Chains A and B, each alone.
Chain A
Amino acid sequence: MLASEIVRDIEQALAVEEPARGLHLIDHLLRSFPAHLRARILRAKALLALGESDEAAGDAATVLSADPLNVEAMLVSAKLAEAQGDLHQSHAFIGRAASVDSGHNGVRQAVADSVAMLPRDPSALGFAYLNSNWPDLAEREFRTALERDPARVDLRIALAESLWRQGRFDEARPECRIVLDHHPRCLRATLIMAHILAEQGRTAHGMEMLERAGEMDPEYEVAAELYARATLSRMSLPPPPSLPEPPPFSDEAASDVEAGAEISGDSPEDVFTAVGETEADVDSDEPQPAEPDGDVVPDGGDPAAVDEVEESTPVPDIEPSSDRDDGTSDAKEAETAPAVEFSAGWPAETGGRLAADEVAEEDEPEPESTMPASSVGEAEIEVAEPEESPPEAVGAPLDSDHSESDPGEGDEPDLVDDDVAAYSENEADEIDVPEPPAWLGLKADELESELTAAGEPEPDGSTHPDEPEAEPPGESSETGDADTADAFGGPAVLAMGRIGSWDAVADTLAEMLAGGDVKPVAGLMEELARLTGFPLSIWRLLGDGYMKTNRPQLASEAYFRAVRRNSE
């Protein structure tokens, strides 16, 4: 089962005001993906609905730390601030959300419900330009806004994205670095940095960062959206991992949840702060003072870091949450166990931070000391990745070799560079790794033979890019076959999209539209548009479909999306 399917169920549960059921599903999702941002924000909403303000605030802050442009998290925070009587703060959140996405339904509602005014400042204009795909104009506005308020991390990310979208990677990179210095788990900065690294030929490191982003966004929806705007991209997103079906929801669990019995045990911040990220990172956009270099111990050797991990690790947070489920959840323990291990170690977090350090350190001789210190050691401790094998390209070099090859260089910024050097030197044999994942840059036709036929588009979570043989067996069907699509409908088309058979997708969509049923096709296209390589020209089909059904307003929207291709 895909995480997005569970997310849909959660949203549905929350929409029908069943927050307890929603929380049950969220727990299940977070057990596999403890850093899943969408799940966290949904949990914040559910908790808010249940009156668990503190926990909701924790989740919202966690999400904002990782995604400072997350409008929904801002809105939750606004509601929480309002509930606490802090209208000024509430309006500030609403205003910021409106800057980022003034068309968001929640923002409109929030603005309508409050006395907050829509912002008319350079930041709002910058986001409007960015959303309209005018990154050069957006850059100008963000620079102006940052002059006024240099601590605004959200603006710096936006500036980085503006530069990145113009292909000015060398300028975007230091901006990302600044963000990652203070918010090492910032999703967008990580994704942009990953892309830049890959484009600059450092694909392994790019993939490393991409893997880290995958923990927060396992289906790479944000990445797909972001990379679709890239001027060019070598990045190929991995297939979405699957996870077990959620255990049945019981009323007992519901009552437990409603009583707030165990929610607080699953402290969201812990997940993100376990490796040394300060709480201030979570709570504030202000750049935080960095820990001194001297704290960095290269080879898994920072005992303090180890202790910190052991103490603050979310293991106990995860396990109690399973108690909330009924007995059937025990049966899933075996499946969820890796997730526990995963969350306990936060290998990717630490590895990711290492990557961030690495990225920051490589090109610029600037103060690497600004980077959080303890992460390196932790990364090496916890690299053993339970179920998601992709990080092996990351893990192996960090894991053992690093500690042996670089003793004593712990507090030097070159640490990572050395590690990188070791990585590349030993690439062939000494280390049993570093071939870039097979799916990196894999062409659609190569992938086609790996994926199963339309019915099962997603390989299971254990599939490793380097081991295409491990993918679910299935006849390597010709995905361009419209009959297949007819038989399987939307999933089949999505499968085609995932393997990059966009011509087949276009043909199938055209056939579907010829049947006159535009609405389901529109929904399907929204899904498809999140996939890497989605050709914007396909929107034209939807526009045609709407024109044929005499809905020119909708048609114009679809055509606009197709026209954007040309302007890009």
Chain B
Amino acid sequence: MTAHDAGPDADLVALLLDVEEVLGAVAWKLGELPRGRWNDDSQDELAFSLLAALTGSLEKGIEDLNLGQLSQIWWQTDEAQCVGFRAGEWEVLVIADPKANVGKLRTRVAGALDENWHLLDSEEE
């Protein structure tokens, strides 16, 4: 479950990690395993699996409440902030420094995804 593996999700994670101020990123397609990586390899990748599952769980809950489908998400703690996007069957989360400007971060991540839409469009895993 690392971005070192080949595949569009690995490429997507590598792409997101190149975005300024991003500390870690995870991407997954519905019904697939999340793949994530920290810029600093010392941290546990299991965190990404859990974050992906929690986000998916939140999404489901929101849907079950008939509040629609989650398209963006943001949360912040004293140690990190997270910006997430859903794009079709794909979902990405990026973890950034809490001091990062969330507006710029969001714009950069969205821009990176827009420019590399082919990665999200791929049928292969």
Contacts and interface: CB of A to CB of B under 8 A. Distances in A.
Q: Do A and B come from one complex?
A: yes
Nearest to B45: A540
Interface string A548-568: 111011011011101100100
A552 B52 contact: yes
B80 interface: no
B53 A550 contact: no
Contacts of B52: 547, 552, 555
B57 interface: yes
Interface residues of B, number: 20
Contact of A550 (B30, B46, B49): B30
Interface string B43-54: 010110110111
Nearest to B47: A563
A566 B50 CA distance: 13
A13 B44 CA distance: 45
Nearest to A549: B31
Interface in A211-234: none
A334 to B, nearest CB: 53
Given A547-B28, A547-B32, A552 B49 contact: no
Nearest to B1: A544
A502 interface: no
Q: Is the interface of B mostly helix, strand, loop or mixed?
A: helix
Given A559-B46, A563-B47, A566-B46, A552 B31 contact: no
A547 B34 contact: yes
B33 A540 contact: no
Contact of B33 (A544, A556, A558): A544
B60 interface: yes
A439 interface: no
The residue among A537, A540, A549 with the most chain B CB atoms within 10 A of its own CB is: A540
A556 B55 CA distance: 9
Contacts of B32: 547-548
Contact of A544 (B49, B54, B56): B49
A537 B50 CA distance: 13
Nearest to A558: B53
A553 B33 contact: no
B50 A563 contact: yes
Given A543-B53, A546-B53, A547-B53, A552 B59 contact: yes
A550 B29 CA distance: 10
Q: Interface residues of A toward B: which range?
A: 10 to 19
Contacts of A537: 46
Q: Is the interface of A mostly helix, strand, loop or mixed?
A: helix
A552 B50 contact: no
B56 A552 contact: yes
A525 to B, nearest CB: 16
A547 B50 contact: no
Contacts of B55: 552
A546 B49 CA distance: 11
Given A552-B56, A552-B60, A555-B56, A560 B31 contact: no
Contacts of A566: 44, 46
Interface string A515-559: 000000000000000000000010010011011111011011011
Contacts of A553: 53, 56-57, 60
A146 B124 CA distance: 60
A101 to B, nearest CB: 23
Contacts of B54: 552, 556
Contacts of A540: 46, 49
Contacts of A543: 49-50, 53
B25 to A, nearest CB: 17
A556 B34 contact: no
B33 A547 contact: yes
A548 B59 contact: no
Given A544-B33, A547-B33, A547-B34, A552 B46 contact: no
Given A548-B33, A553-B56, 11 more contacts: A547-B28, A547-B34, A547-B53, A552-B52, A552-B54, A553-B57, A555-B56, A556-B56, A560-B50, A563-B47, A566-B44
Interface of B: 1, 28, 30-34, 44, 46-47, 49-50, 52-57, 59-60
The list of the 9 closest CB pairs from A to B, nearest first, reads A552-B56, A556-B53, A555-B53, A559-B50, A552-B57, A553-B57, A552-B53, A550-B31, A556-B54
13 contacts: A537-B46, A543-B53, A546-B53, A547-B32, A548-B33, A552-B55, A552-B57, A552-B60, A553-B57, A556-B56, A559-B49, A563-B44, A563-B50
